[in-house]
Amino acid sequence: MTNNDHSYRDQEHNDGSRILIVTAVDAEKDAVVRGLAGSTKADVIAAGVGPAYAAASTAAALAAAAAPYRLVISAGIGGGFDGTAAVGSLVVADRIIAADLGAESQDGFISVDELGFGTARLEADSAWSHRFYEAIRTAGLEAVLAPILTVSTATGTAATAAAHAARIPGAAAEGMEGYGVAVAAQRLGIPFTELRAISNAVGPRDRAAWRIGEALASLEAASAAILEVLE
């Protein structure tokens, strides 16, 4: 885990007007921090990869805060679904869905909702998500407002990509942290959303084709764009 000094150092000055942005790795955190250009409106932490680190680190940061955050954003690079979110574009969540949380059966996947164990589908804060989407578009960046999936195993086959797309129509992106961040925020009654900059297509694994630099540049530009909404 790579929590950022900036975040914890500044929490004592949190007067309740700040937001918490949670990335997975330092490269994503650095891109967000560059975009925010020294703004005091956000604390940024790198929580680690996957929903468990994301949830635990978010909960710890929220619990350690001197005053409640007004919003939590899960942010980072992600996979984009074919025809919905191209490499270099951005996806703002309207819903965050734990796509592989459930049970396999001979008849297919059974979600936790169907199993009766709560829900894998969380609504992102509509007002914040719309504001961020508009600000990103106004900045001239390509973006969609759509469901973002959280997976514990990054999709690596056409079959899994097709199964996810069929089960969650309109899904535009997948990452590995959004649902964990969202559950932690929801538990404390804090609004949440997710922002993904697309580095690769969801589908057959081809790590060499990931455009991480391009996605991090988009993440930086989107962070600069949303600054206007925060100030």
Ligand X SMILES: O=C(O)c1cccc(C(=O)CC[C@H]2O[C@@H](n3cnc4c(=O)[nH]cnc43)[C@H](O)[C@@H]2O)c1
Is the dihedral angle over the CA atoms 213, 132, 52, 153 positive or is it negative? negative
Contact between 77 and ligand X (CB under 6 A)? yes
Residue bearing tokens 């993440």 = 219
Contact between 46 and ligand X (CB under 6 A)? no
Site string for ligand X, 4-43 (x = CB under 6 A): --------------------xx-xx---------------
Task: Spell out a b/e string for 163-180, using b for 16 or more CB atoms within 10 Å of the CB, else e.
Answer: bbbeebeebbbbbbbbbb
CB nearer to ligand X: give 14 or 57: 57
Provide the minimum distance between the beta carbon of 77 and ligand X in the complex, in angstroms, as a whole number.
Answer: 5
Q: Among 212, 214, 217, 229, which residue sits at the site for ligand X (rule: CB under 6 A)?
A: 212
**How many residues bind ligand X, per CB under 6 A?**
20
Provide the minimum distance between the beta carbon of 70 and ligand X in the complex, in angstroms, as a whole number.
Answer: 24
Segment 85 to 124, residues that bind ligand X, using CB under 6 A: none
Q: Give the angle 179-22-4 at the CA atoms, nearest 5°.
A: 150
CB nearer to ligand X: give 18 or 164: 164
Number of residues that make up the chain? 231
CA distance 96 to 182: 8
Determine the interface stretch with ligand X among 81-89, 118-126, 149-157, 161-169 (rule: CB under 6 A).
149-157
Closest CA to 1 of 47, 60, 68, 65: 47
| Long-range Cβ pairs for the range 160-163 (8 Å, 24+) | 161/81, 161/82, 161/202, 161/203, 163/109
Contact between 174 and ligand X (CB under 6 A)? yes
Contact between 200 and ligand X (CB under 6 A)? yes
Provide the minimum distance between the beta carbon of 230 and ligand X in the complex, in angstroms, as a whole number.
Answer: 23
Output the residue with the shortest Cβ distance to ligand X: 79
Determine the interface stretch with ligand X among 34-42, 58-66, 75-83, 104-112 (rule: CB under 6 A).
75-83
Under DSSP, is residue 208 helix (H, G, I), strand (E, B) or coil? helix
The residues pairing with 80 across neighbouring beta strands, listed in sequence order, are: 173, 201
Contact between 79 and ligand X (CB under 6 A)? yes
Determine the interface stretch with ligand X among 5-13, 97-105, 119-127, 151-159 (rule: CB under 6 A).
151-159
What tokens appear for 157 in the block? 């086959």
The Cβ of residue 182 has, within 10 Å, a number of other Cβ atoms equal to: 33
For residue 163, CA distances in Å to 11, 81, 109, 202 come to: 42, 12, 9, 11
Interface with ligand X (CB under 6 A): 24-25, 27-28, 49, 76-79, 151, 154-155, 174-177, 199-200, 202, 212
